[in-house]
Amino acid sequence: MFGFYNNHEHKNQEGRKITCGFAMLLLLIGLNSCSIRYGFVGGTMDYSKVQSISIKDFQNMAPYVYAPLSQKFTEQLREKYNRQTRLQVLRDNGQMDLEGEITAHELTPLAVREDMFASQTRMTITIRVRFTNQVTPEDDFEQSFSAYQEFSIDRDLQAVEDELTELIIKEIIDQIYNATVAKW
């Protein structure tokens, strides 16, 4: 009787192994057949149709002029497309074209204290962009992109301006990239 029980238990273990193996096979087939495709780098670009983008120098037309802003912005915008796409980045005559100007660089007082001085200041940069796409003209647009950073009045503007400008430039460049090639 003990041998019969052992044999019966052995058959149950084999049955469980087969059932478990079958379940794993179904799971793998299910996971393999269902897939979601997405991409953060390069977006939805069809590189067989578009191989180049021209990025012209963005001139600083803002009333408050921070001298390195124009050059920093233009260089970092070009670098973004160099790093994250396979497009050839040109100064002129690309199949896609980005141009525009810096229209605002503003400091706005926030959170006024009892003594009527601001305890926080917001730095805002706005850039107007004209995007043209010779391959798909329906993607063309003219739009302003803006971003800001806040800082405490305890910190001197000259001490924080470079750091805040870098953060704002990065955010605006991400917005432009997303609107042009990533299509987010």
pLDDT digits (tens, 9 = 90+) for 133-147: 999 999 999 999 999
Q: State the CB neighbour count (10 A cutoff) for residue 72.
A: 16
pLDDT tens by residue, 6-64? 555 555 556 555 565 555 555 445 544 443 333 344 456 788 999 999 999 999 999 99
Please indicate whether residue 27 or residue 157 has the higher confidence score (pLDDT).
Answer: 157
- Contact between 68 and 58 under an 8 Å Cβ cutoff? The reply is no
Is residue 65 a part of any domain in this protein? yes
Q: 3 and 76: one domain?
A: no
- Contact between 46 and 85 under an 8 Å Cβ cutoff? The reply is no
Q: 146 and 73: one domain?
A: yes
Q: 10 and 68: one domain?
A: no
Is residue 40 a part of any domain in this protein? no
Give the count of domains, the chain.
Answer: 2
Is residue 41 a part of any domain in this protein? no
Rounded Cα distance between 47 and 49, Å, is 5
Please indicate whether residue 50 or residue 184 has the higher confidence score (pLDDT).
Answer: 50
Is residue 46 a part of any domain in this protein? no
Q: 94 and 163: one domain?
A: yes
Q: 10 and 99: one domain?
A: no
Is residue 78 a part of any domain in this protein? yes
Residues in the chain: 184
Per-position b or e across 126-158, b if 16+ CB within 10 A of its CB: bbbbebbbeeeeeeeeeeebbbebebeeeeeee
What mean pLDDT is reported for the chain? 83
Domain range for 133 is 52-182
